[in-house]
Copies of this chain bind each other. A is one copy, B any other.
């Protein structure tokens, strides 16, 4: 029988009523003829409680014990979900990560999946079991210790199971009903997308659309797993939610499919840096070593052997960036006249795989912003994305204007 993977996040299994609701949805897919692998998170709040206890007990905790403790929430949900399905006469059983076994490396608290053998679960499917409920977020190391996969680990678990079992689709049930052209809280005309390409989803995810973890989208793209994001709180049809898929599976596309934003950005400019080979490496190695996540980087044309170097990072990392740069200046490794910090900016981006074959998107974007009187501070582009930094106070306006100009309220 074809296999379907269904993943339920913490809010979708927050209590026994919600678990029942989720189980009913699983029952619908079983009735359609699927063998279903259900991936569950811990009841919402449980993992945070456990993490809190670990942090209070041991601020610099042994990650192996952290994993042993925080993985327990998923085990509870998995057992309760299996029982709920059994009550509905759906043959089901639970699996903890080590029982599958979901094999990972030994990077505790952020382990990478290495292998998911399918024989145990497939044998049970062969014996008439219809649903394997798997505790998400966890696996087992080569040393036999419990590992966890880090933030968003249950999404990643779901996609990895879909790949291993060659599932027809991986449905991610969450508290939003899909992926939108932009944030509906900022732009009233935001429209839910029926389909979106993996590449676009990756750009949107990394820009802050918190629907899916970047890592699970990357994994889905690599193994061509069709991912569907949908709400566990609404009645569903087969067309519900948003399908994240290969771009070949999308018939028609707008040139631009989404407008994303990131509110808390800072722009830092090193004025009058010596323009010679190795300088950029010196700067960004120092920043990286100090835990600064540099996003956009722009280097202006050089004059008289000196140049200005501008980059952006999250506002809460500005202090660390200043320290790192002062350190290398003090050590004589780097020479610059001044560090100019603007902590009041935001990033706005337009994303669309259609840009690959359409020209004029950048021009149109700049024109729209200019008409609204919004000054652009930095521009960066990729094959399917154009991002600009603007004053934070213009962020909402920029998103709304771009959404309208690229007609994102209308389907392709």
Which of A's residues lie within 8 Å of B, judged by CB? 16, 19, 50, 53-54, 56-58, 61-62, 64-66, 68-69, 72-73, 75-76, 78-80, 82-84, 86-87, 93-94, 96, 98-99, 144-146
Contact = CB atoms under 8 A, between A and B. Distances in A.
B54 A80 contact: yes
Contacts of A57: 16, 19, 80, 83-84, 87
A52 to B, nearest CB: 10
Contacts of A146: 96
B76 A50 contact: yes
Contacts of A64: 93
A83 B99 contact: no
Q: Which 8 A-B pairs have the closest CB atoms?
A: A69-B79, A68-B79, A58-B83, A72-B72, A65-B79, A57-B83, A65-B83, A72-B75
A62 B93 CA distance: 9
Given A16-B53, A62-B82, A68-B78, 18 more contacts: A16-B56, A53-B76, A54-B80, A57-B84, A57-B87, A58-B83, A58-B87, A62-B83, A65-B79, A65-B83, A65-B93, A69-B75, A69-B79, A72-B72, A72-B73, A72-B75, A75-B75, A99-B145
A79 B66 contact: yes
A7 to B, nearest CB: 19
Contacts of A62: 82-83, 86, 93
Number of copies: 2
Contact of A54 (B53, B66, B79, B98): B79
14 contacts: A16-B57, A57-B84, A58-B86, A62-B82, A62-B83, A62-B86, A62-B93, A64-B93, A65-B93, A65-B94, A66-B79, A68-B94, A68-B96, A69-B79
Contact of A82 (B65, B99, B144): B65
Contacts of A54: 79-80, 83
A19 B66 CA distance: 16
Contacts of A68: 75, 78-79, 82, 94, 96
B98 A83 contact: no
A200 to B, nearest CB: 39
Nearest to A71: B75
Contacts of A73: 72
Contact of A76 (B56, B69, B79): B69
Contact of A86 (B65, B76, B93): B65
A68 B74 CA distance: 11
A54 B77 CA distance: 10
A110 B26 CA distance: 31
A96 B97 CA distance: 13
Most buried by B among A19, A53, A65, A86: A65
Nearest to A19: B57
A144 B87 CA distance: 23
Contact of A53 (B53, B72, B80, B98): B80
Contacts of A84: 57-58
A57 B16 CA distance: 7
Nearest to A61: B83
A383 to B, nearest CB: 45
A25 B62 CA distance: 21
A56 B19 CA distance: 12
Contacts of A65: 79-80, 82-83, 86, 93-94
A50 B43 CA distance: 12
Nearest to A55: B83
A190 to B, nearest CB: 38
A168 to B, nearest CB: 27
Contacts of A96: 68, 146
Contacts of A61: 83
